């Protein structure tokens, strides 16, 4: 597709960057992908997010666009991107107003980035953020863009509230009616109950079960204990509090509306406090209910973005290179008929990703498994350790392997930070890339489950 020594797209991509500069800085390796040749590297340069906050809290009146713009502007300030044209910005939101059809482009226009930076929206439930990283990394690897910003925002506070289906149909019929009798006929279909608005829910459209109830079924199936869940939740909070204390998030988080740390983080929580909470999910099951507000993520507001680039781009702009985006894999499961748990798709994606890259769990130093619920992480780990499951469901010859706890979510994850759906992927990618850069070697695995029975897993590698 692109056999020129320099990339056609790059000519106009970075403002003021001359063609000769570019050629001079390329170190003689083939940068762009030519059929058969190894594609060039896509590099995580850095990330930025606003602190996450529980819904209805400090960001109650901030919109997705407000938060995404703030996250972008923090990134721009951190890496000196004022007035720069970025190859492409990809982001999304799960709870999205219809007026936000161009959420990301609007956020770009409201940010300090150059107005000629293109952008697109993506939506894949909780995997939105990670999928934007995968998509833009691939474009960078193919030489279609030199730089990209991936991320997402979600507000459970400023959620869209829609009119009921009944009222919506009446209003649409009314707008099409021409004569007074037609208009009256349309209005006659209106029922009092239609005036009640519809707020978004976390219920799966095809089952009517909330995400928590779905996970409660999986939790019961895998017999995950209450104590194991509480211990994982505690580890998330203590790991994240420790990471804040040692300044790990200093160059990953920019304060927003008076908040400088994730507002959900409870540095002083304990197993006793977590054990005192009443179960909120799985109370209708015959198995004991184990999932509480403490070992489940709360509805959260927030935004996060990641700056990606080619090695060339990073060097030219004197930007750090934290880690390479190596590969990613998506999977989906049939949860509708109860054949598999709603949040189990990453379990299926993982062996496919590892096999393609000739790797095993032993090749990794960090595991970032998104904590939708503590039991989501624990069922994933249990499934990968279960010989029978790995044989019959994953088609492997034996268990996939064990994830050692000292490598798992070492700087805390969603139970501590909270989980603004579309923002979580970029939070994880930025944190993992920084961990790999600090270590100076090794690899990290990311696993993110998503509504609709989907999941995305990805590999990052230290440089």
Partner 1 sequence: MDRVLADPPELTSLYAGALAVSARAGLRRRQRPSALPLDRHRLDGLLAAPDEVEGFQRLMGRARGDFVPSGYVHILVFPVAVSVLSRPDFPLPLLGMIHLRNEIHHLRPIRLDERLAVTAWVENLTPHRSGSQVDVVVHVHSGPEMVWMGRSTYLAKGIHLTGTSDADVATAVAADASPAAEELPGCPTAEWSLGGDTGRRYAAVSGDYNPIHLSVLSARALGMKRPIAHGMYLASRMVAAAGPDESTPFKWTVEFRAPVLLPSRVLLSAEVDASSTAQWRGAEVVAWDPRRRRTHFSGRLERLTVDAGAK
Binding residues (CB under 8 A) for partner 1: these are 165, 191, 193, 203, 206-210, 213, 217, 220-221, 284-287, 336-338
Reference 224, options 293, 297, 272, 290; nearest CA is 290
Instruction: Supply φ then ψ for residue 140, to 5 degrees.
Output: -65, -45
Residue pair 415/232 in contact by the 8 Å Cβ criterion: yes
The distance of closest approach from Cβ of residue 217 to partner 1 in the complex, given in angstroms and rounded to an integer, is 4
The distance of closest approach from Cβ of residue 216 to partner 1 in the complex, given in angstroms and rounded to an integer, is 9
The distance of closest approach from Cβ of residue 185 to partner 1 in the complex, given in angstroms and rounded to an integer, is 13
Say which of 126, 317, 370, 390 is annotated catalytic: 126
Please give the structure tokens belonging to residue 456: 């995305």
The distance of closest approach from Cβ of residue 295 to partner 1 in the complex, given in angstroms and rounded to an integer, is 19
Residue pair 92/71 in contact by the 8 Å Cβ criterion: no
Residue pair 375/229 in contact by the 8 Å Cβ criterion: yes
Say which of 214, 317, 390, 449 is annotated catalytic: 449
> Which is closer to partner 1, CB of 289 or CB of 396?
289
The distance of closest approach from Cβ of residue 271 to partner 1 in the complex, given in angstroms and rounded to an integer, is 28
> Which is closer to partner 1, CB of 68 or CB of 220?
220
* Residue 126 is a catalytic residue: yes
CA angle 266, 269, 273 (to 5 degrees): 135
β-bridge mates for residue 153, sequence order: 303
Residue pair 333/341 in contact by the 8 Å Cβ criterion: yes
> Which is closer to partner 1, CB of 19 or CB of 284?
284
Residue pair 413/241 in contact by the 8 Å Cβ criterion: no
Reference 329, options 450, 458, 460; nearest CA is 458
> Which is closer to partner 1, CB of 88 or CB of 340?
340
> Which is closer to partner 1, CB of 246 or CB of 337?
337
Residue pair 354/360 in contact by the 8 Å Cβ criterion: yes
Q: What gap in Å lies between CA 134 and CA 459, rounded to an integer?
A: 10
The distance of closest approach from Cβ of residue 30 to partner 1 in the complex, given in angstroms and rounded to an integer, is 43
Say which of 237, 317, 370, 419 is annotated catalytic: 419
Reference 426, options 89, 169, 162; nearest CA is 89
Q: What are the residues whose beta carbons fall under 8 Å from the beta carbon of 167, sequence distance 6 or more?
A: 190, 194, 195
> Which is closer to partner 1, CB of 50 or CB of 224?
224
For the annotated catalytic residues, the residue numbers are 126, 419, 449
């Amino acid at each position: 597709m692109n056999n020129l020594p320099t990339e056609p797209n790059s000519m106009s991509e970075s403002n003021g960057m001359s063609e000769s500069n570019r050629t001079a800085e390329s170190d003689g390796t083939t940068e762009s992908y030519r059929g058969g040749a190894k594609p060039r590297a896509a590099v995580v340069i850095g990330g930025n997010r606003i602190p996450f906050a529980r819904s209805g809290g400090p960001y109650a009146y901030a919109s997705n666009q407000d938060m995404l713009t703030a996250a972008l502007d923090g990134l721009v300030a951190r890496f000196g991107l004022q007035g720069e044209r970025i190859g492409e910005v990809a982001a999304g939101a799960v709870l999205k107003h219809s007026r936000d059809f161009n959420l990301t482009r609007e956020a770009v226009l409201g940010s300090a980035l150059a107005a000629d930076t293109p952008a697109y929206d993506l939506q894949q439930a909780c995997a939105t953020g990670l999928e934007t990283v995968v998509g833009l990394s691939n474009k960078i690897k193919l030489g279609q863009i030199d730089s990209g910003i991936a991320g997402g925002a979600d507000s459970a506070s400023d959620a869209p509230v829609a009119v009921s289906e009944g009222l919506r149909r009446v209003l649409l019929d009314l707008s099409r009616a021409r004569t007074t009798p037609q208009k009256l006929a349309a209005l006659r279909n209106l029922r009092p109950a239609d005036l009640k608005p519809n707020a978004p829910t976390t219920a799966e459209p095809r089952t009517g079960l909330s995400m928590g109830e779905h996970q409660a079924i999986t939790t019961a199936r895998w017999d995950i204990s209450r104590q194991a869940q509480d211990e994982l939740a505690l580890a998330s909070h203590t790991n994240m509090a420790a990471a804040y204390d040692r300044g790990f998030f200093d160059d990953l988080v920019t304060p927003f509306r008076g908040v400088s740390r994730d507002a959900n983080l409870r540095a002083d929580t304990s197993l006793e406090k977590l054990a005192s909470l009443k179960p909120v999910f799985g109370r209708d099951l015959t198995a004991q209910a184990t999932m509480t507000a403490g070992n489940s993520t709360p509805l959260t507001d927030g935004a996060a973005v990641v700056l990606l680039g080619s090695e060339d781009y990073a060097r030219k702009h004197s930007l750090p290179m934290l880690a390479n985006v190596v590969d990613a894999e998506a999977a989906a499961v049939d949860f509708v008929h109860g054949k598999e748990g709603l949040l189990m798709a990453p379990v299926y994606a993982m062996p496919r990703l590892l096999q393609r890259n000739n790797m095993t769990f032993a090749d990794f130093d960090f595991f970032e498994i998104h904590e939708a619920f503590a039991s989501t992480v624990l069922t994933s780990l249990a499934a990968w350790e279960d010989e029978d499951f790995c044989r019959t469901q994953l088609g492997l010859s034996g268990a996939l392997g064990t994830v050692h706890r000292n490598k798992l979510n070492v700087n805390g994850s969603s139970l501590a930070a909270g989980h603004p759906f579309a923002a979580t992927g970029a939070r994880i990618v930025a944190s993992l890339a920084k961990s790999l850069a600090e270590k100076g070697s090794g690899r990290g695995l990311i696993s993110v489950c998503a509504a609709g029975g989907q999941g995305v897993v990805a590999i990052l590698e230290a440089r």
